[in-house]
Structure 1
Amino acid sequence: MKDRIPILDLVPEVEFLWDDLMAAITRVLRSGQFILGPEVETFEREVAEYLGAKHAIGLNSGTDALVIGLRALGVGPGDEVITTPFTFFATAEAISLVGATPVFVDIDPRTFNINPELIPPAITPRTKAILPVHLYGRPAEMDSILAIAEEHGLKVLEDCAQAFGATYRGKKVGTLGHAGAFSFFPSKNLGAYGDGGLLVTNDDGVAELARMLRAHGSRRKYYNEIIGYNSRLDALQAAILRVKLPHVDRWNERRREVARRYNQLLAGVPGLVLPEVSEGHVSHQYTVRVLGGKRDGVQRRLDGLKIGTMVYYPVPLHRLPVYGYPSGSFPWAERLATEVLSLPIWPQMGLEAQAWVAQVLARVLKKK
């Protein structure tokens, strides 16, 4: 193909929604109300109904959703939170920002998610919560995680940044634990056209505290009760998200179709481990494992052939300088960090482009 194939192309989505987007943006501009207000409140009601949650609190970012979620669940200085080292930095960063300590547990190489069997040995008297991540849009093994949390009296905050619309045993992720944190970064399955985030919960007290925390710790303006944040989803982003929300299930199904097609096109290619694709998985990324120490070379070669890829993530969190665990602490996370490679995927990705990606990848691996 002549044109470069990016890791993600949002232009078809924007073109498809153009008239509705312009109408929504114009509605907000003419309202003169840009921070919180009716547009955000309506989106919160609509997204809560979609997810099956009692409360949805619009926030400034997915990172803020994690921070505010942890604080609203009572996590703070001196506490420990068990999580995965194989995720974006914000997962552990949020734990550190509230004064707690992230305690890492290795992952299951089949799912890329935290291995529940390894959680109980990591629990100490200081453990306050478990923070599972639904990585690449695949739900973590929540039955086991929730059972462990109940047995030990722990809170569960789900990191759903990559998993909007994913389901686990018929329930939307984010509603399984005590609270769920979502990101609306533009590349997400439901993405804004700027930053945005969401916290959902069925707990009235958690919701009330989260709403206070997003508005400088106040229930009403100027009557601040606790130290909080300036973390409000703005009306323009809420309006954009309202336009996109009705389409998200169809787009998620198309992502699954693209992922299944990749699995067919790449079946039997030596040196690749392909991901499982289930109905509950929303295929935020299509991530393969490139074996034999070839990943970086394969990525460079694909880039030279105008195929965009990404490595999510090249350094497991425990090996970053801010945490600095010794090498070998979590062997699967460390190994997969050298093997994972995410291929181009978006709902409107055409068969021709996808077949070209698979063909070129197979050819590159054959030459290695």
Structure 2
Amino acid sequence: MRDAARPARSGAGRRVARGGAARDELRRRVDGSAHVEARRPAADAGGAPAAHHRPLPRARDRDRGVLRPRVPAGRLELDRRHDRFRDRPRVDRRAVQAADAVSGDAALEADGVACLRNGLAEVRRVHADIHSSEPDGTGAALPARRRVHALLHAAVVAVELLADPGAADSFRGGAVGRAGRAASRARGAGRNVEDGHVLTAICRYGPRVLAGTKAIVQRCRDRGELIQGPDIRRFERALAARIGVADAVSASYGRVAFYYLLRALRLPEGGEVILPALTFWVVPEMVRVAGLKPVFADVDPRTFNLDPVAFERAITPRTVAVVPTHLYGLSCDMGAIMAIADRPRVKVIEDCAHSLGARYHGRHVGTFGDAAFFSFQTLKPLNTYGGGAAIARDPAILARVRAQAEAEPWPNEERVNNRLKLGAAQRIFSRPAVFTMTAYPALLIAMLWKARPDVYLWEKIRPLSPMPDSYRERYPNVQAAIGLAGLERLDAWTAQTRAHARIMDDALGSLPGVRAPFVPEGCEHVYYQYCLYTPDRDRFVRRALRHGVDVETLHVDVCTELTSLFGEQPRKPHAEQASQAVQLPVYASLGERRARAIARRIRRLLRDAPPLTEAAVNSRC
């Protein structure tokens, strides 16, 4: 807004000419998306008011007759010294304050009424004895320091904020008092000036990190318990109690805990172990290292989990075990799987690496089969910077697992310290501000060449016999201490992740070109990954990245395609189809504001996508 006396032809100008007071006016919407530096006129002298303006009247109240805007910091696309203004018909013109609420003598009534203060980030009301302002046309630039006399930064009214029903409610008389003000700040804080532009890029990964991790590490160090100490058994017992079993045994990795279980079950050498074709390659490789034969069954493309019908078809006289993987945080159909496994007495070992906290008909995953294993790597539901655990229904089997784990050597301090440093670095580089300035530009450049630099983040696919040295060691005390504290936060983390998943469901579930995650009745998803089917995966991933959302394409492997490890295998078309899904960020540290921003951007990218019908999905299979 350039402040100049309004011509008499305007409504406000005629009222002033007749001697009436100009009405308070709502300042217009700002589009801060374009750069105006090159086009703006020369600045006025610093501190000087614009021409034809008289000074402000003496301050009679703390706001000088103005409800001042609170422009949130951190808007990368908005230069707050040289805002651009647009006069558009879509400006919300609702009254935000009664005419008698602005007094020339008394303090503004809004100061004492929360419902009138709640929307100050969205609107600005000008005292009646300040000259009316003339709106510029679309695209006009505001010169430097040409403003409403000595007021703060020029008024900012983003249409998306005015359209916020919560903000509208605050003007019509929302919650009064401190709680109302806090609610308003939460609704309006950190919004984009124009949602198509990105403030900071969002990393696909968000490790769960305790605020007091450094203090926990230092306490262990001070007591001389960084490697060995009592927290290991405390953690094992606390984990078992949470899951609902008698005991647990910690290990250096979840995959190593699985290896211990395979040996503790005393399965006949060369026996066949059925696994889903869609799983992390190290799981079937551990089967091979244990002297057994991995056999792959197809998955249900809706749930990404082992298809009970495919499992039953894969059973032969040599089948000794099955490994139902609760992939991405959703439990398998354990009722059907247990019924099928019971007939030929096939051992059931549940892979719970992604799913600590998930339930099937009220029971924790891991409590249905003969045994189960969990992972505590950096990105897992419980992050202890590495490690894993095994549980078993038969105490004798668990005792054999413990004997193997306790026969391993302790790691040295240097290795453990490096592990903690690496975990801290992963957390730092996944923060939006850091990610935006580091990995995000690299991903954008790689996108131009259709390269995949993210593949270097994962462990190289290779034979694991003999196992690496880091596998053959014990779980250290400091990581157990972190795990103990993390268990206390697990429910809160899971609740936050589920809330973010609901935001995605609400925004995307109704789009014809999208298939959101399917959660069968009786299953409680923990959303280690939020998996989405879209018509053109690669194009969508590129467009999402350009809009600041780093999207995962495949978190696990189609193991039937890994011929270097497992030889030629029959195709598993549903696993191949499931590998075409994308995973959106919904992790706990994302926060509601960023989750809603991601949902809006993804919805905009997919709202015109062609319908994705069940027949179309299955035709690719």
Q: TM-score, normalised by structure 2?
A: 0.54
Give the Å deviation of 1:314: 7.0
The answer (yes or no) to whether the contact 2:217–2:226 under 8 Å persists in 1 is: no
Q: Is 1:300 aligned to residue 542 of structure 2? A: yes
Output one character per residue of 1:158-216: Cα deviation in whole Å (capped at 9) or x when no partner. Answer: 00000011111221111211111100011111111x21111112311111111121233
Output one character per residue of 1:113-135: Cα deviation in whole Å (capped at 9) or x when no partner. Answer: 00111222211121110100000
Amino acid at match of 1:7: R
Q: Is 1:283 aligned to residue 530 of structure 2? A: no
Query: Matches of 1:288 and 1:216 in 2, distance apart?
Result: 43
Aligned partner of 1:31 in structure 2 is 223
* Mean Cα deviation higher: 128-137 or 356-365: 356-365
Of 485, 488, 502, the residue aligned with 1:243 is 485
Output one character per residue of 1:27-52: Cα deviation in whole Å (capped at 9) or x when no partner. Answer: 21122234453110111111111111
Aligned partner of 2:603 in structure 1 is 362
Q: Is 1:60 aligned to residue 252 of structure 2? A: yes
Of 182, 186, 211, the residue aligned with 1:18 is 211
Aligned partner of 2:358 in structure 1 is 166
Q: Is 1:323 aligned to residue 566 of structure 2? A: yes
**Higher RCO (CA 8 Å, separation ≥ 6 residues):** 1
Q: Is 1:74 aligned to residue 266 of structure 2? A: yes
Aligned partner of 2:613 in structure 1 is none
Query: Matches of 1:111 and 1:267 in 2, distance apart?
Result: 16
Output one character per residue of 1:274-301: Cα deviation in whole Å (capped at 9) or x when no partner. Answer: 003476211111110113xx10121122
RMSD after superposition:
2.2
Aligned partner of 2:131 in structure 1 is none
Q: Is 1:348 aligned to residue 589 of structure 2? A: yes
Question: Does the residue aligned with 1:348 lie in a helix, a strand or coil?
Answer: helix
The answer (yes or no) to whether the contact 1:277–1:283 under 8 Å persists in 2 is: no
The answer (yes or no) to whether the contact 1:260–1:277 under 8 Å persists in 2 is: no
Amino acid at match of 2:405: R
Query: Matches of 2:337 and 2:546 in 1, distance apart?
Result: 42
Aligned partner of 2:30 in structure 1 is none
Output one character per residue of 1:52-97: Cα deviation in whole Å (capped at 9) or x when no partner. Answer: 1112001101111221121112235311101101111122112111
Of 78, 88, 113, the residue aligned with 2:305 is 113
Query: Matches of 2:555 and 2:589 in 1, distance apart?
Result: 25
Aligned partner of 2:514 in structure 1 is 272
Aligned partner of 1:42 in structure 2 is 234
Question: Does the residue aligned with 1:243 lie in a helix, a strand or coil?
Answer: helix
Long gaps (5+) in structure 1: 219-226
Query: Matches of 1:198 and 1:95 in 2, distance apart?
Result: 17
Of 189, 195, 200, the residue aligned with 2:391 is 200
User: If each structure's helix is expressed as a fraction of its own residues, which one has the higher value?
Assistant: 1
Q: Percent identity?
A: 33
Amino acid at match of 1:117: V
The answer (yes or no) to whether the contact 2:225–2:478 under 8 Å persists in 1 is: no
Query: Matches of 2:393 and 2:552 in 1, distance apart?
Result: 35
Query: Matches of 1:304 and 1:155 in 2, distance apart?
Result: 47
Aligned partner of 1:122 in structure 2 is 314
Query: Matches of 2:269 and 2:530 in 1, distance apart?
Result: 37
Query: Matches of 2:510 and 2:376 in 1, distance apart?
Result: 36
Query: Matches of 1:124 and 1:188 in 2, distance apart?
Result: 34
* Mean Cα deviation higher: 199-208 or 304-313: 304-313
Specify the structure having the higher radius of gyration (Cα): 2
Aligned residue pairs total 350
Query: Matches of 1:70 and 1:236 in 2, distance apart?
Result: 27
Question: After the TM superposition, which residues 123-138 of structure 1 pair with which residues of structure 2 at under 5 Å, given as runs?
Answer: 123-138=315-330
Amino acid at match of 2:259: V
Question: Does the residue aligned with 1:18 lie in a helix, a strand or coil?
Answer: coil
Q: Is 1:214 aligned to residue 405 of structure 2? A: yes
Query: Matches of 1:51 and 1:367 in 2, distance apart?
Result: 44
Aligned partner of 2:474 in structure 1 is 232
Runs (4 or more) in structure 1 with deviation over 4 Å come to: none
Query: Matches of 2:354 and 2:408 in 1, distance apart?
Result: 28
The answer (yes or no) to whether the contact 2:306–2:325 under 8 Å persists in 1 is: yes
Give the Å deviation of 1:367: 6.6
Q: Is 1:312 aligned to residue 544 of structure 2? A: no
Aligned partner of 1:2 in structure 2 is 199
Question: Does the residue aligned with 1:157 lie in a helix, a strand or coil?
Answer: strand
The answer (yes or no) to whether the contact 1:43–1:242 under 8 Å persists in 2 is: yes
Q: Is 1:191 aligned to residue 383 of structure 2? A: yes
Aligned partner of 1:224 in structure 2 is none
Are the structure 2 counterparts of residues 277 and 116 from structure 1 closer, same or farther at C-alpha, using a change threshold of 3 Å? Answer: closer
Query: Matches of 1:239 and 1:185 in 2, distance apart?
Result: 15
Of 85, 94, 109, the residue aligned with 2:277 is 85
Output one character per residue of 1:137-171: Cα deviation in whole Å (capped at 9) or x when no partner. Answer: 00001111112222111111100000011111221
Amino acid at match of 2:506: Q
Query: Matches of 2:281 and 2:374 in 1, distance apart?
Result: 15
Are the structure 2 counterparts of residues 51 and 215 from structure 1 closer, same or farther at C-alpha, using a change threshold of 3 Å? Answer: same
The answer (yes or no) to whether the contact 2:408–2:472 under 8 Å persists in 1 is: no
Query: Matches of 2:404 and 2:230 in 1, distance apart?
Result: 20
Q: TM-score, normalised by structure 1?
A: 0.89
Query: Matches of 1:336 and 1:217 in 2, distance apart?
Result: 38
Of 43, 47, 51, the residue aligned with 2:243 is 51
Are the structure 2 counterparts of residues 18 and 268 from structure 1 closer, same or farther at C-alpha, using a change threshold of 3 Å? Answer: closer
Q: Is 1:104 aligned to residue 347 of structure 2? A: no
Question: Does the residue aligned with 1:272 lie in a helix, a strand or coil?
Answer: coil
The answer (yes or no) to whether the contact 2:329–2:528 under 8 Å persists in 1 is: yes
The answer (yes or no) to whether the contact 1:35–1:232 under 8 Å persists in 2 is: no
